[in-house]
Each structure stands twice: as C-alpha cells, then as structure tokens.
C-alpha cells in the first residue's frame, strides 16, 4: 500500500475507534518500520502494514494487540480486521495496523522507546514517529532481513550519512547496547554482509 491508501485506512480506523471508545483518552502509538519511512517521505516504497508500538492505550499505559489480550485490545483487533477485510485485504494483511514487532523492539531497547514526536493526531488515534530516524536504521540493522530490510538500510544509510561499519556499530550500540542480543539476532553477521571487508 502507498501513503494515501494507508491514510484512508487510518481515517476509517480512527472513526471506528471513536465510536467504540467515546471517552477523551487517545490511543498513542509509535510508528516504526517501513510505514514510518513512507510517512516521513524517506522512501516511496510501498508497505503491507503499519508497524507500531502502543505506548498509551486510552490512558492505561502500554498495551499489546498480540499478547495477553484484554476485552479492549481484542475489540481493537476486531475493528482493524473488519476494516482490512472491507478493503479486500486477506489473511494476516487484514491487520494493517499491528504491533507484531513491538515485543522484539522493546526487548532490544530493554523496555524503552526512543524520544518521539507527534506525527498525526486523529480524533482517537495519535501516531508518533521517532525524533531521530537513526532509531529506525538501528531497528532494521538488528532485524537484518535481506529481503525486507536491506533496501531500507541502504536508503537510510545514504540519508543519515552512515558510511562505515564503525558508524553503524556505534549507532546500534546507542539504541540497543546489549551485546548478547546483538549476537542473538546476528547483528555482527549483518554488518559483515553490508560492509564486506575490502
């Protein structure tokens, strides 16, 4: 999906959330991954979904749409899935807004998220992006999926002027300093692939 298509889905979702949860408290979520790059116009590459970390669910703090579902989060999942279905999305793609990556990123960040700035405040859904897009590059370096991340890594390296292995290592150490997790997720191997020895 491109940016206008994602924005259409988000507008519909916001209207559905407002009807389902009429109180004043918003759902605040940090947009990460490819959707963040699309929304900030770093890239025009289409994406299948909007990856988020929900850091405030209707005034109750962090929440997950994947683990330990509550009546509230189950209801939100149902709303997202129904809108996705109405737009012809199939299977897992119906969950066009999801936090499937949140547990991974929160593990890497030891429960912390980066400094955020408001990107778009709908009536009920407030979307944030990282103040520093180097966070997204660090995330993609840690995920290291050649088919999904390497194109975005190349784009972000150019935009952020990350030219050397040492710069990339320093960047990841800034956001995700746990060496055990770096090795667990094969970050050293990813660095070797991206910065082959001359």
pLDDT in tens, the chain (198 residues): 999 999 999 999 999 999 999 999 999 999 999 999 999 999 998 999 999 999 999 999 999 999 989 999 999 999 999 999 999 999 999 999 999 999 999 999 999 999 999 999 999 999 999 999 999 999 999 999 988 899 999 999 999 999 999 999 999 999 999 999 999 999 999 999 999 875
The tokens of 75 are what? 């209801």
Same domain, 112 and 24: yes
* Residues 158, 190 within the same domain: yes
Question: Is the same domain home to 30 and 122?
Answer: yes
Q: Which of 130, 145, 175 is the last residue of a domain?
A: 130
27 & 46 share domain: yes
Using CA atoms, how far apart are residues 35 and 32, in angstroms rounded to an integer?
7
Could you tell me the residue range of the domain that residue 182 belongs to?
Answer: 134-194
Residue 60 has a pLDDT of 94
Among residues 119, 136, 135, which one has the least CA distance to residue 127? 119
Query: Which 3 state secondary structure label does DSSP give 78?
Result: helix
Bridge partners, residue 32, by sequence = 51
- 27-32/125-130 β-pairing: parallel
Domain boundary residue, one of 130, 151, 178: 130
Task: Specify whether 141 is located in the same domain as 74.
Answer: no
The token duo for 19 is: 């009807």
Q: Are 3 and 39 in contact (CB under 8 A)?
A: yes
Round to the nearest angstrom and report the end-to-end CA distance of the chain: 38
**pLDDT attached to residue 1:** 93
Look up the pTM and report it: 0.93
Residues 42 and 96 both lie in one domain: yes
Most distant pair of Cα atoms in the chain: their distance: 60
Structural domain total, the chain: 2
Q: Are residues 122 and 143 in the same domain?
A: no
């Amino acid at each position: 999906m491109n940016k206008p298509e994602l924005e259409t889905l988000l507008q519909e979702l916001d209207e559905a959330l407002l009807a389902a949860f009429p109180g004043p408290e918003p759902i605040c979520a940090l947009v990460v991954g490819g959707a963040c790059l699309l929304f900030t116009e770093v890239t025009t590459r289409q994406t299948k979904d909007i990856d988020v970390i929900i850091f405030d669910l209707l005034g109750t703090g962090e929440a997950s749409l994947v683990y330990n579902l509550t009546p509230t989060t189950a209801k939100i999942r149902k709303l997202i899935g129904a809108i996705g279905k109405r737009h012809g999305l199939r299977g897992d793609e119906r969950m066009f807004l999801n936090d499937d990556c949140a547990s991974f990123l929160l593990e890497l960040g030891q429960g912390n998220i980066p400094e955020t700035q408001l990107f778009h405040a709908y009536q009920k859904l407030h979307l944030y992006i990282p103040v520093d897009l180097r966070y997204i590059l660090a995330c993609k370096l840690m995920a290291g999926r050649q088919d999904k991340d390497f194109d975005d890594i190349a784009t972000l390296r150019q935009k952020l002027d990350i030219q050397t292995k040492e710069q990339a290592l320093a960047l990841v150490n800034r956001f995700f300093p746990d060496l055990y997790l770096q090795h667990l997720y094969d970050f050293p191997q990813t660095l070797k692939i991206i910065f082959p020895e001359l």
